[in-house]
Amino acid sequence: MPLLITIIGLVSAIGFWIWRARNAADAAHEILDVAQDIRAAARRFGFRRNYNRHPVEDIEDPNIAIAGIAVCFLELDDYPTHEEKDAMLRAIQSELRLSLKDASEIAVLGRWMMTQCNGAQQGIDRMARKLYKLNKGSSFSPLMSVLKTILSEAEGPMNAKQKSALDDIQTAFKLS
């Protein structure tokens, strides 16, 4: 009987460690997939990174900055819902005249830009200034349409972080 219990214990321990190793491998594959998605989106939209500068400074397409600001603005909401995320993608799609696949990819690139800025608030400030530099404010209208769509889908009123972000955008576009 003690031998049977020992064998069952050993089989259980081996099974547990195999299960943990598979989970770790799956997590590593998911991380690689995300990195490949970001690389593919960057190539597709012509983003080239200069390693001596911050990635936001290398943005040449205003659509990337608009999508990055939209992602940051959505992240400032405490708990963005799936509906808000879908509304953001639809707004990016319609305002920037992209396909849904392209809108999803540019949103992934925007999220990466946000992480490179160390957060949503810093991302909005930095990308808004870059967007203004790119075309001297002509992208303000599409940006505000995207943000308005996000706000219309929100469950409650704007929070203080989002109000501050709108003030930062207004300052970046030299409207105040």
The confidence score (pLDDT) of residue 92 equals 92
Residue 46 forms part of a structural domain: no
- CA atoms of 128 and 164, how far apart (whole Å): 13
Residue-wise pLDDT tens digits, 67-79: 999 999 998 877 7
To 5 degrees, how large is the angle CA 83–CA 85–CA 87?
Answer: 70
Tell which wins on pLDDT, 17 or 45: 17
Q: Which two tokens stand for residue 7?
A: 């064998």
Number of structural domains, the chain?
A: 1
Residue 121 forms part of a structural domain: yes
The backbone torsions φ and ψ at residue 175, rounded to the nearest 5 degrees and listed phi first, read: -100, -5
Residue 133 forms part of a structural domain: yes
Residue 9 forms part of a structural domain: no
Q: 105 exposed, middle or buried (CB, 10 Å; 0-12, 13-18, 19+)?
A: buried
Residue 113 forms part of a structural domain: yes
Residue 50 forms part of a structural domain: no
- CA atoms of 174 and 133, how far apart (whole Å): 11
Residue 34 forms part of a structural domain: no
Residue-wise pLDDT tens digits, 141-171: 999 999 998 888 877 788 888 899 889 899 8
Q: Which two tokens stand for residue 111?
A: 């999220």
Q: Which domain holds residue 168?
A: 55-172
Residue 44 forms part of a structural domain: no
